[in-house]
């Protein structure tokens, strides 16, 4: 690395610049993969919710038109609803994602500082 005029302006060697670009591409690729995974989870949740509503409306209609005795559709509505709630939580409340990103950036900066 070459310092010019002592004002913090530096020129990096070709290998250093190439390493920085490749590490930045790796970070961008990891962020893209994570964003894609979250988008797919949210897409899956939306389909799950739509199917849940349609099927349970159908079950309630069957129950209603067959005599409306014991309200048995409550069981799939309740228990499947817990599954839908879990799917929602996993799709929209990804825990630790922000911390993982910050820690990854911290590690990459530490490695970059060790190289210089």
pLDDT in tens, 62-104: 999 998 889 999 999 999 999 999 999 888 886 556 677 777 7
Residue whose C-alpha is closest to residue 17's, from 5, 29, 33, 2:
2
In terms of Cβ atoms closer than 10 Å to its own Cβ (0-12, 13-18, 19+), residue 77 is middle
- Which pLDDT score, from 0 to 100, does residue 39 have? 86
- Which pLDDT score, from 0 to 100, does residue 19 have? 55
Q: What's the distance, CA 76 to chain centroid? A: 28
User: pLDDT tens digits for 49-59?
Assistant: 999 999 999 99
CB 50 within 8 A of CB 97: no
Torsion angles phi and psi, residue 85, rounded to 5: -60, -45
- Which pLDDT score, from 0 to 100, does residue 58 have? 95
- Note the pTM of the prediction, 2 decimals: 0.59
């Amino acid at each position: 690395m070459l310092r010019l005029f002592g004002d913090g302006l530096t020129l990096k060697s070709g290998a250093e610049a190439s390493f920085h670009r490749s590490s930045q591409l790796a970070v961008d690729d990891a962020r893209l993969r994570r964003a894609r995974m979250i988008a797919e989870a949210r897409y899956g949740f939306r389909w799950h919710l739509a199917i849940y509503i349609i099927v349970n409306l159908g079950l309630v209609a069957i129950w209603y038109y067959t005599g409306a005795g014991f309200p048995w559709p409550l069981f799939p509505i309740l228990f499947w609803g817990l599954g839908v709630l879990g799917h929602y939580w996993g799709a929209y409340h990804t825990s630790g994602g922000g911390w993982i990103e910050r820690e990854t950036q911290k590690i990459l900066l530490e490695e970059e500082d060790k190289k210089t």
